[in-house]
Amino acid sequence: MPGYIFKGGNLGNGFVFDGVSSYIEVLNTNHTLYNNLTAISASFWGITTNGGNKLFFLKYGPDTVQNGFSFFSNEYPAFINFSNNETLYMPGIMPISTDTNHYVFTWNNIDGIGKWYKNSILNSSSSPIGIGATIKNNTININFGLWYGAPQNWYAQKCFSISTYNKVLNQTEIDYLYKLEGAVPLTATANCIGDWGFNQKYGIILPDTSGNAQHGTVYNANTSLGVNNAWVDAYTLLPIER
């Protein structure tokens, strides 16, 4: 019977979003990295601690614009607007959990199927949508933990890692991102367009280590050294399926 073994967390550190006012913003300096995409994948390590319609990874226009995408919402694992005016509402709900989990979302315009994985296992697939289309372009900043709309919503959780790719990650690449062991798949590395490791222990800057300089700025959080610091050690063990 399948079970779980545990090994020490090697994700580095993390950041606690308080669900009240803290968020991280990545300016749109390199927003063209997400323009005209025919495929996308997003990877997320974290602990989801609250529910409701609160979006975590967001690059989305105002309510009247409907351009862009969001990932890892408690409403939808993914929500994408396409150039042909179709919209993907990914089936499933991000679980509220005190455990650290790894999630991956993928989509491409060849078969139009969105896929959502939890801990390296396919959780759900969408109906074909956006075939031959691209993700709608916009110049909106990327936000972690904050919805732009009115009223604004904030998202409470611990986040250890986020990365995005301009391709569909295959099972080998997803397994690597989940288990964090073995050889790094070169295809995933080459197609990485954003990589935020949340590894520092203090400060207001969240570095992007993809080489694309999409550095984030922390707002409304205690980023100094100390007990109440929003930056935390990755003390949580990682569940590795046996």
Spatial distance between the Cα atoms of 143 and 17, rounded to a whole number of angstroms = 12
Spatial distance between the Cα atoms of 133 and 38, rounded to a whole number of angstroms = 7
The pLDDT tens digits of the residues spanning 50-107 come to 554 444 566 655 444 556 777 776 667 788 888 888 888 888 777 777 778 888 999 9
Instruction: Tell me which amino acid residue 82 is.
Output: F
Element (H, E) at 54: none
Spatial distance between the Cα atoms of 94 and 10, rounded to a whole number of angstroms = 23
Task: Parse the chain into domains and list their residue ranges.
Answer: 4-12+31-241
Q: Tell me the pLDDT of the chain averaged across its residues.
A: 78
We find that the CATH architecture of domain 4-12+31-241 is: Sandwich (2.60)
Which range has the worst mean pLDDT, 56-60, 119-123, 186-190, 194-198?
A: 56-60
Given a cut of 80, is residue 43 above it in pLDDT? yes
- Among 119, 206, 200, 208, CA closest to 163: 208
The pLDDT of residue 52 is 42
Q: Bigger pLDDT: 79 or 117? A: 117
